[in-house]
Structure 1
Amino acid sequence: MLKLNNVNLYYGVIHALKDISLEVEEGEIVTLIGANGAGKTSILRAISGLNPCRSGEVIFKGKSLNKVPAYKIVSRGISHVLEGRRVFSNLTVFENLQLGAYIRKDKAGIKKDYETIFEVFPILKERKEQPAGTLSGGEQQMLAIARALMVKPQLLLMDEPSMGLAPIIVQQIFNIIKEINEKGTTILLVEQNANMALSIASKAYVLETGRIVLKGSAGELLVNESVKSAYLG
């Protein structure tokens, strides 16, 4: 479904991604793990067009995304849940969801998807008329994920969904990620909580200073001694 071939990305003179090649198959949860600054977020931003790569190629469903502007990549079937939630705090929960569906014209389908979203995230139904800025951190994260799902993405990019959340909420968020995947959405997940990420992923890539240094099935990496000592505590 998704391939990165020798992708290089720069921020000014800083070489953030160095010949990154990876693959995400349809139906998978693939996770990227590594320390802060390793390049995990940059990979997601290269895919969604927020920071286009300088060289190499991003291919989605057999077509290059290199020259596609970010706002058009959404309509190709890729949705990006940014780090830090980034909800529209002055708008209501429901208005945030409406903005998630802005590229869609199928009114009946949109209405049905609101109902599905409220089944997966019942707290959002209770809060749907509240300003998003009044929600707790966990509720805002759920709203950010729900808004991204309103696009009906085939591939969902998720950047640090557990950041700053209490452990009980982290477990809830990861249960939701698994449920989304089981309903048919492919997921590329960036996550500091390597234990949790590897527990739900099918495969993983380990990054250090802009390079992939290790890849394999999530099960293999969970028992890999270097991964355990560096990331699993």
Structure 2
Amino acid sequence: MLNLEGVHAYYGYIHALKGVSLKVEEGSIVTLLGANGAGKTTILKVISGVLKASSGSVTFLDHDISKLAPEKVVSEGIVQAPEGRQIFPELTVIENLQVGAYTRRDKKNIKSSYQIVFDYFPILKERQDQLAGTLSGGEQQMLAIGRALMAKPKVLLLDEPSLGLAPLIVKDIFKIIQEINAQGTTVFLVEQNANQALAISDYAYVLETGKITVEGKASEIKEDPKVLQAYLGGH
């Protein structure tokens, strides 16, 4: 469904991605693991069109999207909930959700999308008229995911959704990610919480200094000695 093939990307003279190839199959949850600075967010930027690859290809449903502007990528059905939430604090919850639906052409169906978001996140319905900046960290993360869902993604890109959240909230967020996937949305998950991410994923990649070093079924990656030591607290 979504393929990166031999992708190189730079920030100025810094070679951030060094020939990255990965695949996200339709209907799956795929996780990308890696330490800070490995290039995980850079991969999401390349997929989203925010950063252009210097070489290699990004294809979605068999056509090249590597030259598309970010808003065109969203229109194609690839939508990101970015790291650090990046909601609009001065807007209400409902206004933030409206922003998520901005690129949609099927305006008459937007109302039903609100209901889908509120079914996943009932607290957002209760707080729909509240300023987003006054929400808790967990609620802001729910809003960021809800805003992305308003664009009706075929592939949902999630960048560190558990970052800075209490363990109980993290558990809820991962459960909802599974529910979103079960309803037909493919998920590409960038996450440092390896235990939780691998528990819900079908396939996983490990990125180190801009290169994929390990890949495989999530259940097998959990047993990989290198991954155990680096990300799962094993020996």
Superposed counterparts of 1:61-210, under 5 Å: 61-210=61-210
Retained in 1: the 8 A contact 2:34–2:192? yes
Deviations 1:29-69 (A, max 9, x none): 00000111111111111000111111000000111012111
Could you tell me how far 1:224 is from its partner in structure 2?
1.1
CA distance in 1, matches of 2:224, 2:19: 24
Deviations 1:145-184 (A, max 9, x none): 0000000010011100000000000001000100000000
Q: CA RMSD in A?
A: 0.7
Could you tell me how far 1:195 is from its partner in structure 2?
0.5
Q: What letter corresponds to residue 72 of structure 1 in structure 2?
A: K
CA distance in 1, matches of 2:193, 2:92: 30
Superposed counterparts of 1:203-218, under 5 Å: 203-218=203-218
Q: What letter corresponds to residue 45 of structure 2 in structure 1?
A: R
CA distance in 1, matches of 2:157, 2:136: 22
Retained in 1: the 8 A contact 2:29–2:188? yes
2:12 maps to 1:15: no
Q: Which residue of 1 aligns with 2:46?
A: 46
TM-score (norm 1): 0.99
Report percent identity of matched pairs. Answer: 61
Which aligned runs of 4 or more in structure 1 are off by greater than 4 angstroms? none
Retained in 1: the 8 A contact 2:71–2:103? no
CA distance in 2, matches of 1:127, 1:222: 38
CA distance in 2, matches of 1:120, 1:142: 9
CA distance in 1, matches of 2:95, 2:102: 11
Secondary structure of residue in 1 paired with 2:42: helix
Count of residues in Structure 1 that have an aligned counterpart in Structure 2:
233
Q: Which residue of 2 aligns with 1:230?
A: 230
Secondary structure of residue in 2 paired with 1:205: strand
Secondary structure of residue in 1 paired with 2:206: strand
Gaps of 5+ in 2: none
CA distance in 2, matches of 1:103, 1:49: 15
Could you tell me how far 1:107 is from its partner in structure 2?
3.3
Q: What letter corresponds to residue 212 of structure 1 in structure 2?
A: I
Q: What letter corresponds to residue 219 of structure 1 in structure 2?
A: S
Gaps of 5+ in 1: none
Could you tell me how far 1:75 is from its partner in structure 2?
0.2
TM-score (norm 2): 0.98
CA distance in 2, matches of 1:188, 1:112: 24
